[in-house]
Amino acid sequence: MNVPFFWVDVFAATPLAGNPLALVPDADALPTETMQAIAREFNQSETTFLVRPSLLGADHRLRSFTPGGFEVLGAGHNAMGAWLWLAASGRLDEGGGRYVQQIGEELLPVSVTRDAAGRSVVAMRQSEPRFLASVDDEHRGALTAALGLDAADLSGDRAAELVSTGAEHLLVPARNPGAVDAAQPDTAGLRSLLAEVGAEGCYLYTTAVDPGSGTDAYARFFNPTVGIAEDPATGTAAGPLAALLVRDGLAQPRSPITVEQGTKLGRASLIGLQVDGPAVTISGTGIVVAEGVLRL
């Protein structure tokens, strides 16, 4: 069987930036085990498969897997890359429109527009934010050790929190961008801590950014629970962060929020977000940079 695939740099304005996504369209003939094996083969943070919807009202259904075989149910770069490819391949209305995607058993709205440069811009609704728990002082020492940081590197007036807009991530506030970049996670220690607090991944962030940068936060994402050492752009973590910043008055509702991620990896990514009550929307653009065929 020949299986076509495509490579999309998501949250990127130029090739070889942003977060790369392997995409397999028309994947209905592939059993789950083969999808998981293909994700292992590509060894990217996520590989997305486009299949027929199983719920009424959906235009497309997405299934995304990590190299470890874990199915991702949130709407982040895994979904955005799929819609960027759909737009680039001519499978959507000329100029874009409004659609519905199925991820797991959820139906989530998507809009596709074009910017002044003619690039497709995808905006996706995530699940309603859930603020699940704060990490108490008992875990603070273990957290700093797992991240390879000193206690002074973390924010002294904000606690780490478990927040979800489709995937549960631990959001850890750092003192400044230097502290974020200084992190050298202990994979085993961080995996154990995340499992203990019920989190999938860890989003280390700071809001102490240069006011002239045009960004609201600077972040790095570590997800050893599903085999991802570090991810250059994580929509399922940036969404919860945006909801947290609005809740705490660090960003304004219904105003654009921009998170910078991936810079430490040499793949700078800008993630656009907006929070309007329970509605968290993530937006961005990207580029289809490669295509090929798997011979299975």
Rounded CA-CA distance 209/147 in Å is 21
Measured in degrees and rounded to the nearest 5, phi and psi for residue 213 equal: -80, -15
At 138 the pLDDT is 76
Do residues 144 and 247 both lie within one domain? yes
Do residues 193 and 267 both lie within one domain? yes
Do residues 196 and 252 both lie within one domain? yes
Binned average pLDDT, 10 residues per bin, the chain of 296 residues: 97 92 98 98 96 97 94 91 96 90 95 91 94 86 95 93 95 98 96 94 97 96 91 94 98 97 94 96 96 98
At 96 the pLDDT is 85
Do residues 18 and 137 both lie within one domain? no
Do residues 116 and 39 both lie within one domain? yes
Output the DSSP codes for 135-172: --HHHHHHHHHHHT--GGGB-SS---EEEESSSEEEEE
Nearest to 11 by CA among 2, 22, 20: 20
Rounded CA-CA distance 223/275 in Å is 24
CATH number at residue 256: 3.10.310.10
Do residues 31 and 157 both lie within one domain? no
Looking at the structure of the chain, the number of domains it has is 2
Rounded CA-CA distance 203/171 in Å is 5
Q: Spell out the residues 6+ positions from residue 23 whose beta carbon is closer than 8 angstroms to its own.
A: 5, 6, 7, 8, 47, 48, 49, 50, 81, 82, 85
Residue type, position 278, single letter: P
Question: What is the DSSP-derived secondary structure letter of residue 128?
Answer: P
Do residues 189 and 79 both lie within one domain? no
Give Cα 222 distance to the centre of its chain: 11
Torsion of CA 16, 17, 19, 21, to 10 degrees: -30
Q: What is the SS3 assignment for 275?
A: strand
Do residues 140 and 271 both lie within one domain? yes
CB 72 within 8 A of CB 64: yes
Do residues 250 and 156 both lie within one domain? yes
Rounded CA-CA distance 286/201 in Å is 24
Domain enclosing residue 197, as ranges: 130-277
Task: Take residue 118 and report the two structure tokens written for it.
Answer: 């003619």
User: What are the Cα distances from residue 59, in Å, to 27, 65, 110, 221?
Assistant: 15, 20, 10, 30
Question: What is the DSSP-derived secondary structure letter of residue 279?
Answer: E
Nearest to 74 by CA among 203, 198, 167: 167
Decide: pTM greater than 0.75. Answer: yes
Do residues 258 and 147 both lie within one domain? yes
Please name every residue paired with 293 in a beta bridge, in sequence order, or none if there are none.
Answer: 4
